[in-house]
Structure formats: structure tokens, C-alpha cells
Structure 1
Amino acid sequence: MSSNIEKNSSIEELLPFKEIPGGYGLPFFGAISDRHDFHYRQGPDEFFRARMQQHNSTVFRANAPPGPFNARNARVVVLLDAVSFPILFDTSKVEKRDVFTGTFMPSTSFTGGYRVCSYLDPSEPKHALIKGFLLSLLGRLHTELIPTFHAAISQLFADVEADLDAEGESAFNSVSDKFSFDLLFRLFAGKSSYGAGVGDGGSSLDTWLLLQLAPLVTLGLKFVPNFIEDLVLHTFPLPYFLAKSGYEKIHRAFQEGAGELLDEAEKKGLSRDEASHNLMFVMGFNSYGGTKILFPALLKYVGSGGEDLHRCLAVEIRGAVEEEGGVTLAALERMSLVKSVVWETMRIEPPVQYQYGKAKEDLKISSHVATYVVKKGEMIFGYQPFATRDPLIFVNPDEFVPERFMDEGEQLIKYVYWSNGMETDNPTADNKQCPAKDMVVLLGRMMLVEIFLRYDTFNVEVGKLLLGSSVTIKSMIKFI
């Protein structure tokens, strides 16, 4: 065994060493076959579950998504348990250069010609400069988040109620996306997206996101044969020009509104243009992309939780707001059930499902039952929905338990991995944890607060979308 393999804890040393099971099949054809299993014959969960059962291991070799363009790039070591998964956060052991979206990287045309911070490894000099700027900015915006959220959300509820009055139901995803884009534009650019002339920007960002993430998704169109969709989505990179006009319109308005932020970036040594595209990525990909999944997921699980859960949330929220004299950070910190519900939503339906990293050296990686050696240069892939539903960590892991992270359960929040790090960790200029981690969690809490300050209960129907869940609101009973 290589001498540069690092020593692990004494417990890990007691685990037996095993060869990593699994393989990649025939050159080229093995990757294509696994890709069809993943997207069409099995679907993601069954793809990983079947191989985990076949190998009787949560660590194995496979061709992982998306693996387009070059079949060899699909070869990964898969991690499916909560113990092995955190190796992907340790940038002293894994390289995160150009692996943000996996075994491929979209063209830099989508980001103004720049490799934005998400694609940089912390060893690259520009990473600390850009992420330090982003963290300082997000820290400043934290104090503006509550009043900005409150100012923007009234339109969301007005849209939902208008739909309920006219149609008897409201498609929550569309009104939520509209609200999210306006909220984030207000935060980053200092004005309403409607006042800036880009009120419909969410749909433009949807196109921009889809073109970058196409290799990871399945459209599920019944009138399109699978092999045709696979050829179009998963074989060749999709071109930026399809999103160009929408992205550039938002970018121009963003640059005009975010002038003070860009001034600050220049003082730190970043060009205005590079800083603006990094800010656009944080706003459009990290934040808008995250809330696009998080807000409907919250409505899905809380709405399906029933009136008893709604009553408990309403009592906690209204009591804390009354005692603190308004919706404040202090009031939000008092809401232990609200916090638990948001963490449980992110555990059971994480906004980011995949994590990747390339071994910088020969590594020992331990699961619950064994230790494996991953060779330098091998790609490591983690499927987050399995790691955060690890049955050896969580009781009833596939069940939504609103109070899971309350009281003694709070010690389990370190196993909530949605942000490319443990929930108990903090993003820094030297790691790859999402710089907007705290902001996204706070947005989830505030969504619940605003709902239960206005309504006593609501009913939903749920379905599945390309990214996340679809939610249709069937009724909302107002608090009087």
C-alpha cells in the first residue's frame, strides 16, 4: 500500500480492508449501458440501490452520470453512506477543479468566458480572492434579507390567492420561481426585477440552468424515444446561444444595479466583469437554483404533514414573533421546530444531489463496515440522497420527521450535507462549502414564517419535475 496514505482514526483502523467491488463494463459500451440504466431503465435511486445490493457495499465502482462526451470520464468510485461521503468535502485530499457539475464541465460561455468560483479548486490563487469577496458580500446582505423577503413575498401570496379564486388551485412552482428571482435580484442588485425591466428573468434563468445541467436530467417526454433524448441531452454539450439573449439581458440590468458591489470587487483586485459573472452565478445558479428546489419541497412536506404539524408551526411562529416584537433574527432563532423542518426537508430532498472530487493522492476511505483504497487520480462520486438517508444514522430514514433535529436530535444536523459540507461547518475562502449556505437555510425558515403568519393550514398535491418536486396548492385557510 502506498506510503502516502494518511492514517485514520483508531476505529477506522479496526475495519477490514476490502477491494472496491464493481466495475465499468466494456470500454465505451459499459458507460452507455449504465447511462441508459440511470436515465431510463431504472432511474437514479434504483440505479444506485440495485448496485449497492448487488455488491453488498455502499462503496463500489460504476459509470456515473452524466459521463457524456468521453465515456472514460464516467468512471467513478461511488459513495452512498454518511460515513464515507464527507471525504468529498476535504480539499486536502480531493481536488474540486472543474467538477462542480460532475464528470463534465459546461462551456465558460455560460459565465462570461470565466471559470467562476464554483469550478475553482481552493489551491488556485483566484479561489480565495473570489470566495472571500462573495462571503463578505453575503455577510452584509444577511441583515437585509428579512426586510427584503417580507417586501417581496406579498406578491407571491397575492398570485396564489388569485389562482385559487380563478381556478380552484395554484401551481406553486411558477409563482415561487417568480418570487425567488425578484427577491434575489432585489438583494444583489438593490432594486425590484420589475423596476429593472427583467421581471420575467426566472424563465431566462431556467433555460440557462437547463442547458448546463442537461446531461444530468431526463425530460420524460413520451413522444420522444429514449435513444433520441439521450443523443440530444447526454452525448454533446448544448450550446450557450440558446440562453444568450436572456442571460445577457439580466446581466446588463444586474451590472447597472450592483454598481457598489462591483466597486468593492475592484478594490479587492477583481475586474468588474469577472466579479459580475461570479455574482450572477451565485444569484442564478446557487441561490435561484437552490430555492427552485427548496421552496416547493418545503410546501410538499409541510403541506402533506397535516393540520397537527401546521398547528404546532403556527403556535411556535406566532409566539416567537409576538415575544420578539416582529420577524427578527432573534425570533427566528427561537423557532426550533421551524429550524428542524427546514433541515429535515434538506436532508430528505437535498437541493444538490451529486458531489464529485478527484483523489489528490492514494486515499483510505471507510464506510460503516470496511476501509477501501482509492488511487490517486480516481474520480469519487457521492449520491447525496442515499448518504443523508443512511439507515445506520437516521431512524426511519425515508420518512419525513418534522421534529427530527429538535432537542437531542440536533446532534444529527452534521449529517445534513446539502451545502457541500456538514451543516455544522461554515463556508470559508479555503473550502468548497456553498457561500450562500446560511442564506438559503434562512430563506427556508422565512418562507414557513410568512406562510403561518398568514394562514392556519393548507393542502397540496405533489408530483415530480426535472429538478425537484412539483406542488399544486389546493387550498389555503387564512389566519384571522
Structure 2
Amino acid sequence: MSSYSDQNPSRTSDILPVKEIPGGYGLPFFGPIKDRIDFYYSQGADEFYRSRIKKYNSTVFRVNSPPGPFNAKDSKVVVLLDALTFPILFDTSKVEKRNVFIGTFMPCTHFTGGYRICAYLDPSETKHNVLKSFFLSTLAKLHKQLIPTFRASVTQMFTDLESELSDKGEANFNPISDKMSFDFLFRLFGNKSSYDTSVGGEGNSDLDRWLLFQLAPLITLGLKYLPNCLEDLLLHTFPLPYFLVKSGYEKVHDELHEAAAGLLDEAEQHGLSRDEASHNLLFLVGFNSYGGTKVIFPAVLKYVGTGGEDLHRRLAEEIRSVVKEEGGVTLSGLNKMSLTKSVVWEALRIEPPVVFQYGKAKEDITVTSHDASYVIKKDEMICGYQPFATKDPKVFENPEVFVPDRFLGDGEKLIKYVYWSNGRESDDPTANNKQCPAKDMVVLLSRMMVVEFFLRYDTFSVEVGTLLLGSSVTFKSVTKAI
């Protein structure tokens, strides 16, 4: 049996009591259905977990994880909801990550060209190392192009934002950002604008539908005119068919396949077939990267925008002084922007773009929370709900509050408790782990987004809400820098 503890040596599983994992799964079939209804409709995700923490007086317990019957073979999981037990899900020597990328179910491989994409492979599978090495090599080669390519793409975004704000008195940031993100990523990986292909300006919409159909069992539409029972039947009972999004996916795939010919040449040198590499590359671009920026960019601007004029003044001063000192926007300059880095990490902490992590225990494992130790048996499925782990009140002071300065100075040591990329923020993705290969790129781009805003504007005001995936941000005003 292995023991896992993420705390000081003075507080190990040898000192804290070993307890039985509380909770249960209810009656076969009916238990998972009841938990699914609670999760989506009666309580919502946060209250679903919060009420059970209170009921069991534990951040570790047993429950059924959605979507439950039909979409998943087994919904029984052990849930981890604190910062100390959660990292066991990153340890691939202890947990298997085969086919658990988005939960207890896996979408049909038709959505990914008939291949089990790298995200669904366990590191023990040979193909995982080959694909992940290809991804990391590709991202390393493109690293120097990130800043100039992003700056070229973001200019149009600001033009669209200001135009809509002028015409309508407000501007919905999400669709404007999504179009920019998709074109930027196509430029980066394909070395040409998506507008110069048959994809045009609709590529992000094609990917949105493709993402939605894969993630449908995990979402709720919240439509007042659609009864819960009907939505549950449509979204959570049967997987949505690929043929409804096939044409859009194939259009984007074919254009990227042609534009990224040079990268696919390198993939063949890694021993990959051109076709398999192209579908994996599109997943990296469309799911990992575009899907990430689709959630992260609005989240960052939500918290920065509502942070007030004093925060805006401090960010503007830091960003402009460093850019002036560096003679432009540079990688070294971005690393000098301490407040900008802290703001992005805090946004990732308080609203992680990925909310779940899963893994199956390879052996009996003892995990230790703040209060007790628990034994997870071999072959049990483990589920971590990330927004609770990253807002653990025993790690972070005022965990529900956005604190821009949280990671300044000695506070930077706390970034090891920022979980969003299937790993710690203080760790790096490798070919042998499951951390998102684009993790560093997404963080860098989030900083770039803040930088570009405050190079143009002194302050801005926003109105925020929620969408199927993440937050919505509507700009109400911007004050241009003089």
C-alpha cells in the first residue's frame, strides 16, 4: 500500500487517524440518477459537494459522479475536495489516467478522427510518450513566435471591441475573444490566418459545436422553457451524435492539415502517421488551447475588470514601465511583471478552467487531508473537484475573494496549490506526465491579454455573468490611455 501526503513532515498520515471513507452510492441505477439530479438541478455543483462535506464532516467521501448511467459504465467515485489530497490525481505512478480526460465517460473516437487522442492515453501507453514529445517539441519551436503572433491577432480584437461598444453602448467580449483566439492559434500552428482559408471567420463556431457535443453530458443549459427532465434525457442520458458536427470538424481539420504541413513532417520523424498526428494536433489546438483560452481570457478580464480603478492604475504603471524599459513587449519583460503574474495566477486559482480531474487507483493508496487519512482501494475511481481544492480555506486566506496581490513576494510559494492544468502550477509538463502540454503557453497568453489591455486603456468597466463554459464578460466602457 502506498501513502500519499502533501503536507509538512510533522503532520503525516502516521499522526492523523485513518478513517473509513464516508458516503455511499445508493441503490443500483437509482442512486446515480438521484445524485445526477441533485448535481445538475436540485443543488448545482458547488452546493452538491458543499452539503456533503457538511454531512460527512470530511473533504473525502464516496458519491456518484455525473453523468451516471448510460453515458458511463460506472459512476462510483471517491471525491477529493481539499488541497492536500487532490495532487494524488497528478501522480501517474499511483493512478491510471486511461480514458478519463473529461470524466467517467469518454466521447466516441469519431470526434477525433477515429483515434484515441493523447489526452485519453495513460503515460504507460507507448503512443502517449511519442505524441506528448511531439507536442512539447512543437510548442518549444513556436515559443518565440507567441508574442508577435498574438499581438498581430489581438489588434483586430480591440478594433471589434471598440466598434461594438460605440455602436451598441456595450460589447460582448466572449465571441470577439473566441474569434481572435482561434485565428491566433491557426496563425501560430498553421503559419497563416484562418481568414485566408475556407474556414474563414467561422472556425471558432465549428470548434464550439464540436466541443459542446463532446462535453454535453457534463453541462446543463439552464433554459427556463426546457423542463429539467427533458434536458436530462437529451444531454445526460445518451451521447450526442458526431455526424451533426462532422462537416465543421472536417473543414477545420483539412485546412489545418494543409497549413501545418511542416509540423506534420516532423511528426512523421517522431514515428507518427500523418493522419493520426493531424487529429492530435487539432485536439491540441482546438480542445487544449482554444478550449482553454475560451474560458481563461474572460475569467482573467472578469476579475481584473471588477478589481477597480486602483488595481487598473497599478497594472498600467507596472506594464508600461517594464515595456518602456525593455523597448517593447518581451518574454523577459513579462517575467518582470510581478503584479500581472499574480493577477493571472489568482484568476486561475479562483476560477480554474478545468473543474474535474479523474484517475483510477493502481494500488491501495492512503491519502491524507487536513484532518484524517483514508485508504482508497485498488481500481477505485478517484474524482477531484478542482474549484474546491484551489479554494481550500486551510491553505488560502479569504479563499472565495479575488486578491490581486496574493502571489506577490513570499506569496509566490503558494502557486504549488494552483491546480488547473492536471498538475501543479509550479510543475512542468513532460512526456511522462499528464499535465497539459500547452500549460505554459496558456499562462503566458493570459498575461499577454492583460498587458495588451493596459497598453491601450487606463481603465474599463465590465458586467459579468455565466455561460455553459465559464464566465461571460460584457464591456460597458473603456478609457483609452493618453
* TM-score normalised by structure 1 residue count: 0.98
> Alignment identity in percent?
69
Specify the SS of the correspondent of 2:182. Answer: helix
The 5 A counterparts of 1:371-390 are 371-390=373-392
Q: Tell me the amino acid that sits aligned with residue 160 of structure 1.
A: L
Q: Give the match for residue 328 of structure 1.
A: 330
Q: Give, in angstroms, the shift of residue 71 of structure 1.
A: 6.5
Q: Give, in angstroms, the shift of residue 67 of structure 1.
A: 2.2
2:269 to 267, 270, 287: 267
- 1:326-371 deviations in Å (ceiling 9; x for gaps): 0000110110000000000000000100000000011101111111
Contact 1:388 1:416 in 2 (8 A): yes
Q: Give, in angstroms, the shift of residue 12 of structure 1.
A: 2.2
Q: Give the match for residue 184 of structure 1.
A: 185
Structure 1 CA distance, aligned partners of 2:378 and 2:160? 53
Specify the SS of the correspondent of 2:360. Answer: strand
Q: Give the match for residue 360 of structure 2.
A: 358
Q: Give the match for residue 420 of structure 1.
A: 422
Specify the SS of the correspondent of 1:473. Answer: strand
State whether structure 2 residue 303 is matched by structure 1 residue 296.
Answer: no
* TM-score normalised by structure 2 residue count: 0.98
Structure 1 CA distance, aligned partners of 2:481 and 2:147? 21
Structure 1 CA distance, aligned partners of 2:73 and 2:439? 33
Specify the SS of the correspondent of 2:478. Answer: strand
Contact 1:31 1:71 in 2 (8 A): no
Q: Give, in angstroms, the shift of residue 70 of structure 1.
A: 5.8
Structure 2 CA distance, aligned partners of 1:118 and 1:295? 22
The 5 A counterparts of 1:185-224 are 185-198=186-199, 199-224=201-226
Structure 1 CA distance, aligned partners of 2:74 and 2:312? 47
Q: Give, in angstroms, the shift of residue 200 of structure 1.
A: 1.1
Q: Give the match for residue 120 of structure 1.
A: 121
State whether structure 2 residue 244 is matched by structure 1 residue 242.
Answer: yes
Structure 1 residues 334 and 7 mapped into 2: Cα distance closer, same or farther (>3 Å)? closer
Structure 2 CA distance, aligned partners of 1:245 and 1:197? 12
Q: Give the match for residue 256 of structure 2.
A: 254
The 5 A counterparts of 1:436-451 are 436-451=438-453
Structure 1 CA distance, aligned partners of 2:280 and 2:348? 25
Contact 1:68 1:104 in 2 (8 A): no
Specify the SS of the correspondent of 2:100. Answer: coil
- 1:415-461 deviations in Å (ceiling 9; x for gaps): 00101001111000000000000000000000000000000000000
- 1:290-311 deviations in Å (ceiling 9; x for gaps): 0001011111100000100000
Structure 2 CA distance, aligned partners of 1:156 and 1:70? 39
- 1:379-408 deviations in Å (ceiling 9; x for gaps): 000000000000000000000000100101
2:456 to 442, 454, 457: 454
* Structure 2: runs of 5 or more not aligned: none
Q: Tell me the amino acid that sits aligned with residue 313 of structure 1.
A: L
Q: Give the match for residue 467 of structure 1.
A: 469
Q: Give the match for residue 310 of structure 1.
A: 312
Aligned-pair Cα RMSD in Å: 1.0
Specify the SS of the correspondent of 1:286. Answer: helix
Specify the SS of the correspondent of 1:12. Answer: coil
Q: Give, in angstroms, the shift of residue 44 of structure 1.
A: 0.4
1:406 to 388, 405, 408: 408
Contact 1:169 1:473 in 2 (8 A): yes
Q: Give the match for residue 227 of structure 2.
A: 225
Structure 2 CA distance, aligned partners of 1:190 and 1:49? 47
- 1:55-107 deviations in Å (ceiling 9; x for gaps): 00000000112224167611100000000000000000000000001000000
* Deviation larger for 235-244 or 436-445: 235-244
Contact 1:97 1:120 in 2 (8 A): yes
Q: Tell me the amino acid that sits aligned with residue 169 of structure 1.
A: E
